[in-house]
Amino acid sequence: MKHWIFIFGLLILTFSLSAQVLNPDSLNAEQAFYQQTLQKLEAKAAHGVKNADLFYDMGVCHYQLGNTGKAVLYFLRALNLNSAHKQAKQNLLYIHNLHPELSPEPNRPFLVQLFLNIYDFFSLNRLAITLLILAILLTLSLHWLMHTPSEKERGLPILAVVITAILFIAFGSMLLVKNHRYRNDSRAVVIANVAPIYHTPESNNVLQTIPEGSVVVVIKTQGKKAQIILPDGTQGWVDSNSIERVVPVSNTKE
């Protein structure tokens, strides 16, 4: 009896799923919704609005519309603005799990990965706030040291000054590096279905092809070609219109 009940339930589930799959109206309505939402978000971006959540929402819309390359591009742009954007990181990982042909993240030693996680946690805004707090603490420590009588032990005030000064220099250096990377990110994403790689910009012989959504590093551009480096270190030339930079060239000149 239980066996027949299970089969009957399975048939009902199959028919209901088939009805959903074969219903073009619901699919068209969903596509239209994401297309309209994307147009609204692009209009905001065209008016100068630039934040991580906006780029993240644009990436979600592109992914729902089947544009894997554009989705990866906007998730990376969200992380470029806010390296601690959790949802963008999760969606990038989700895309890489669904598309194993894309270049995976390299396996790093534990301490290196721990440092990178800390580096990503401190976005530009968090670093600026942290530096402000450290500057206040450093000022208070110097005030404490200068107003400590010479006949008293100065070890503790000196230690406070040294620690806060080291932290201030470390976080200040991190802010400079992150700001430089934010403005000069040389990564690009393949937005074409397939991007052929050539040995030279004039060559027509294809060395290999890379799929949509692959992340590369742009070395330079020459005419309608761009020289890139793949994650495995391979270098070559691709059509410039088959990739799009995480940070547009116009932004790097500001």
Q: Is residue 111 part of a domain?
A: no
Residues 6+ apart with CB under 8 A from 236: 197, 198, 199, 207, 208, 227, 228, 230
Alpha carbons 247 and 231: distance in angstroms, whole number:
18
Q: Is residue 196 part of a domain?
A: yes
Q: Is residue 63 part of a domain?
A: yes
* Residue 251 pLDDT: 56
Same domain, 196 and 248: yes
Alpha carbons 252 and 183: distance in angstroms, whole number:
5
Alpha carbons 191 and 238: distance in angstroms, whole number:
12
Q: What CATH number is associated with residue 83?
A: 1.25.40.10
Same domain, 88 and 72: yes
Q: Considering just the CA atoms, what is the radius of gyration of the chain in Å?
A: 26
Same domain, 165 and 233: no
Identify the domain containing residue 57 by its residue range. Answer: 2-98
Structural domains counted in the chain: 3
Q: Is residue 107 part of a domain?
A: no
Same domain, 94 and 7: yes
Same domain, 248 and 211: yes
Same domain, 199 and 159: no
Q: For every one of its 254 residues, what pLDDT tens digit does the chain have, with 9 covering 90 and above?
A: 444 443 444 334 344 444 444 455 566 788 889 899 999 999 999 888 889 999 999 999 999 999 999 999 999 999 999 999 999 999 998 998 888 777 656 677 888 888 888 888 999 999 999 999 999 999 999 999 998 888 888 889 999 999 999 999 999 999 999 999 888 889 999 999 999 999 888 888 888 999 999 999 999 998 899 999 998 888 999 999 999 999 987 655 44
Q: What CATH number is associated with residue 201?
A: 2.30.30.40
Same domain, 198 and 224: yes
Q: Is residue 59 part of a domain?
A: yes
- Domain stop point among 83, 98, 113: 98
Same domain, 197 and 149: no
Same domain, 206 and 220: yes
Q: Is residue 177 part of a domain?
A: yes
With beta carbons less than 8 A apart as the criterion, state whether 224 and 153 touch.
no
Taking the whole predicted model, whether its pTM rises above 0.85 is answered as no
* Residue 104 pLDDT: 59
